[in-house]
Structure 1
Amino acid sequence: MNAAVPKALLRQEPAALAAPVSTLLARDLAYAYDGGRPVFSGVSIEVRPREIVCLLGGSGCGKSSLLRVLARLEVPASGDIHFLGEPLRAPHPRAALVFQQPGLLPWLDAAGNVGFGLDFEHQPRLARSERAARIEHALSAVGLAGHGHRYPAQLSGGMAQRVALARALAREPQLLFADEPFSALDAITRAEMQALLVELVHRWHTAALLVTHDIDEAILVADRILLMGGTPGRIVREWTVDIERPREAQPAAVTALRLDILNALRVLRAH
């Protein structure tokens, strides 16, 4: 039996979807595994330049599947996706992905891993000097200047994830797709990586769509939070996070938003 999304959580499609400038704009997406049970349906989403959008929801609601469809790693059953104003029908060279596990190649050093993918067919051809500069710049951006010679076995978990982030940045993306990239890290390292993500998005003039099930991470990182739930999954609530940074210094506002999100999750579960 499908669990309908409670009417109290449903919102009319936001007028902002018609905004003239979007990094990513998707309308009425639906997806099912091999033509079977729908995973999500009726999903519309926008990511604007230099914006971090967090896709929040419980396990199994379709967050990761939606991310893969938006990145065009999977084909939607219906709906359309536009990236930088053009229809998106295949993975785009100006979009990059970061996953929960760094996925580093053990036979390549950090610099080699960062440069991996720059020579793929769909990437623009780079002169050797430009390629080396991109790698160096990306490593420096994530705080690993001078560590390009280290191999994955010589890196801590946090350093390995920084290399994975640098690998994405080396492609000079307009959009970062990130699927719970910090969930395997310890609390301190995770906080450092969250702050680094915010800094890089603003400094590199990119945008990010971050999948997470962690309410605190969403509040600390996001400009907007989208709550996904129901069966099939859909976007049921949206919050604009206008809390001044650093948000750790605004405990009252953070707590109020956290309680509002928790209450929305309880309403979803109750239905």
Structure 2
Amino acid sequence: MTRKETHIKEITRLLMQFLASGSAEDLLTYLVAGSNLPGARANPDIVEAFAGTVREFAVADTDDRQALWTLCVELACISPEDAPAGDPHESLSFCGVRGIGAIGSVSPVCAEAALTHLSEASADPRWQVQEAVAMAIRDLLSRQRGRAVPELEGWVEGGSWLAMRAAVAGVAEPDLLAEPDLAEAALRFHRKTLIRVYMAKERQSEAFCALRKALGSTLSLVVAALPGIGFEYLRQLATLDDQDIRWIVRENLEGSQLRERYPETVQHIRAQVG
């Protein structure tokens, strides 16, 4: 039995105990103990096991779904003051955010509320929680794209830097980009985001820097999914007299995603961007 399978088995038992008793104490103790924090990052196996198991329970029973939804929202709302970055209790926020995405992905009723919660969570200063938001968005895009895409469009048009980061990072996932409609949406998100970057006056905040860093890798995934219009867009960006956008273009050209598959095209644009 793999480590993840062991986590799934134990989390299943603890969720059943929670649903029967109303007490989540043993479940939370287990998640904290298995967090691998403090450390470089939270234990991905236990987080994935939690999100996947919550999804299965939510599908099976609507009453259980409501109880699990309430639990996940409470966990997602644990503040940075109560669970600072690197503290083992930070994993509870991470799990809560992923649980919200998991439940929203299988429940149209919860999908809209999930996006609202994720928009709020995207502003969390803890980078692991920001990553959890992007992963939760992927869950919603995979199963509730009709609701998720228009909402995320609003994030990139008028949301905060971190909401924009969550949207572009969430959609830039190879399995999602294999779907033509999602690939087109992803390119649209990136176009709108980079227009806002180009127009930005204030560029020193941590939030702007987090968005810039994300764009340094997400754009290449979108271009790989739509190489024709994608490379034409990169050529357009390369002509702009903007240091941040030129940095984003260079970073995406450096990645193996494009360099190994389209070496001549990459070399040409790299010479153009300087």
Q: Higher helix fraction: Structure 1 or Structure 2? A: 2
Scaled by the length of structure 1, the TM-score of the pair is 0.30
Query: Taking CA–CA contacts closer than 8 Å with sequence separation of 6 or more, which of the two structures ends up with the larger relative contact order?
Result: 1
Rg: which structure is higher? Answer: 2
User: If the length of structure 2 is used for normalisation, what is the TM-score?
Assistant: 0.30
Structure with the bigger percentage of strand: 1
